[in-house]
Chain A
């Protein structure tokens, strides 16, 4: 029986193994993902992003508890950074949520970024698809702790929550571009701390400055104290309100179309590049170009144009497996 078949029958270990194969870039995982794809598209995907130490993992833990209470099955994908020097990683998001580990209705997976920028790992979308096919009603993605420009999450999640904490900067930080533009809901966590009201006000002002079109979703700013489970009900309600908005206005179709397009384009880019690069590496053109650039006899702009016209027809495109 294939991994995919076992996963569809509810086998946890097979799901965990396929996620590993995906993360390690095994070609065989593509075959399994093909079989799972028809069974995906049912889970509601929530993204949590924000700076390191904002309390994302603790919020995920509390959200998981809340959704479990409502009888939902919950998948969690938690991402932490890979060391750029050693390739190793300490994945510590589970510390805040491992009380759910032996609950059959929860599946938590930690992923390392493995050099990928943007707040997620390259494998995140596919790991989410596996959880979706496992029958998770809700999948929560927790990004690596991010600063300003890591916005991959918005193409992955249905509802994106941006988690902030008091005291990180003034309102100019808030009107710069980046993660503060992508929130469907804003959460000021650790709201018992000094400056929480001010952070809420600054975020609200920033949102007010955004020219709003009629019929558009209006993001709100909520306060939570995740550690003592305060404000979680309101957050769950706001996520639900956004979900209802997406479905009642048809905005969900636009979102899914973008999500599908970006998933397909990423795949295409990866495969085109890896096959093409493997080809010019094996036939020596890559080395020639690099040597040519060293002596300035070859410029990289012309080199790219030349290999595209001369080599494209000769590349051995890897079909399936």
Chain B
């Protein structure tokens, strides 16, 4: 039997047009042997959740630099819950003040990576915290 391959959706919710980080992380995940679905810029939480479900991903990584993280990130978790897909792990990254992190975590974001985090650490975190569906 073949081994399950980890599938990750990398999403850019909201209106910022800066996707260098999303591309770098996608590349790091690719090199770690994951399959990444990158959905591109300017996505609504609804579009991200619909894509995550259709692609049957194990986790969703959200990159956000616009400052709207307190609104958009919890929305993704909320809609996943409404669609009974909250078994999909959500994590985030970007310019996010430390003070906002506890609130995001209580809203369902499992981890938040701020500027300066090495891609190795993020890959290691995914390996330890996300497991391909049985």
Contacts and interface: CB of A to CB of B under 8 A. Distances in A.
Given A16-B54, A108-B51, A110-B55, A95 B34 contact: no
Given A13-B85, A27-B1, A88-B29, A101 B50 contact: yes
B30 A102 contact: no
B46 interface: yes
B2 A89 contact: no
B1 A86 contact: no
Interface string B29-51: 11111111111100110111111
A13 B7 contact: no
B50 A94 contact: no
B51 A94 contact: yes
Given A86-B30, A86-B31, A110-B55, A102 B50 contact: yes
A162 B85 CA distance: 38
A94 B40 contact: yes
Nearest to B38: A92
Interface residues of B, number: 36
A123 to B, nearest CB: 11
A98 B40 contact: yes
Contact of B33 (A13, A87, A109): A87
B35 A20 contact: no
B133 interface: yes
Contacts of A12: 53-54
Nearest to A114: B5
A321 to B, nearest CB: 12
Nearest to B55: A110
A90 interface: yes
A25 B32 CA distance: 21
Interface string A29-56: 0000000000000000000000000000
Given A27-B1, A95-B40, A108-B51, A19 B33 contact: no
B53 A90 contact: no
B56 interface: yes
Contacts of B34: 88
A112 interface: yes
Contact of A88 (B1, B33, B40, B50): B33
Given A88-B36, A90-B26, A98 B47 contact: yes
B39 A95 contact: yes
B55 A109 contact: yes
B21 to A, nearest CB: 15
B27 interface: yes
A13 B52 CA distance: 10
Contact of B56 (A17, A91, A96): A17
B20 interface: no
Contact of B2 (A24, A83, A90): A24
A186 interface: no
B33 A86 contact: yes
Interface string A273-292: 00000000000000000000
A26 interface: yes
Contacts of A23: 5
Nearest to A20: B56
A224 B50 CA distance: 29
A112 B35 contact: yes
Given A13-B85, A25-B2, A90 B36 contact: yes
Given A24-B4, A25-B1, A91 B53 contact: no
A94 B85 contact: no
B12 to A, nearest CB: 10
Contact of A16 (B40, B44, B56): B56
B5 to A, nearest CB: 7
Interface of B: 1-5, 7, 26-27, 29-40, 43-44, 46-51, 53-56, 83-85, 133
23 contacts: A13-B84, A13-B85, A16-B53, A17-B133, A24-B3, A24-B5, A27-B1, A83-B31, A86-B33, A88-B35, A89-B30, A90-B30, A90-B36, A94-B40, A94-B51, A95-B40, A96-B40, A101-B46, A101-B47, A101-B50, A102-B47, A108-B54, A109-B54
